[in-house]
Structure 1
Amino acid sequence: MRKYVFGTGLLSAITGGLTLLRSARSDEPFTWRTALAWLSWGITLALAIGSVVDTRRAARAKMIPLDSPVADRRNDLLRERLRR
């Protein structure tokens, strides 16, 4: 579970969210740029979580979509799982 929680994609999404929260506390008004930043952060977080889910499913020999970033490494992940 550690390798999923401490993945670089998930950590960068969390730190990006913390940065946005810090900027939201300031007295600056909420503009369209701020809305786009929050939308971008939400998409980044969703992609990071989706990658973690796909990696876990591939390691457990379950079906994953072919457009997943780990679809090419599916067999390697399964071999690693079986080796343990």
Structure 2
Amino acid sequence: MRRYLFSTGLFSAILSGLALLRSMREKEPFTWRTALAWLSWGISVTLAVGAAVDTRRARRGREVAEDSPIAPKAEKLYKKRLDSARAS
């Protein structure tokens, strides 16, 4: 579980969210640029979580969507899991 919570994509999305929160404390007005920044942050978090879920599915031998960035590596991850299971 730790592997997925501390993935680089999710970590960077959380840090950018913290930067957005700090900017909200400075009592600046909420503009359309701020709204777009929050929308972008939401999309980044969603993509990072999706990549972590796809990686977990591939490692467990489950099907991964073809449009996932993990799809080309899914077979390799599955074989790695089988090899580690055999070694145990």
TM-score in same-fold range (> 0.5): yes
Q: Equivalent residue of 1:63, what SS?
A: coil
Counterpart of 2:81 in structure 1 is 81
Greater helix content: 2
Aligned residues: 84
Larger Rg: 2
Q: Percent identity?
A: 60
Aligned to 1:2: 2
Normalised by the length of structure 2, the TM-score is 0.91
TM-score (norm 1): 0.95
Give the whole-Å Cα distance in 2 for the aligned partners of 1:22 and 1:7.
Answer: 23
1:70 aligned partner = 70
Deviation at 1:2, TM superposition (A): 2.3
Within 2, Cα distance between the matches of 1:81 and 1:17?
Answer: 34
Q: Which residue of 2 aligns with 1:42?
A: 42
Deviations 1:33-74 (A, max 9, x none): 000000000000000000000000111111111000000001
* Structure 1 residue 83, shift from structure 2 partner: 2.0
> AA paired with 1:36?
L
* Structure 2: unaligned runs, 5 residues or longer: none
Gap regions ≥5 residues in structure 1 = none
Query: Following superposition, which runs of at least 4 residues in structure 1 exceed 2 angstroms of deviation?
Result: none
- Residue number in structure 2 paired with 1:54: 54
Q: Which residue of 2 aligns with 1:28?
A: 28
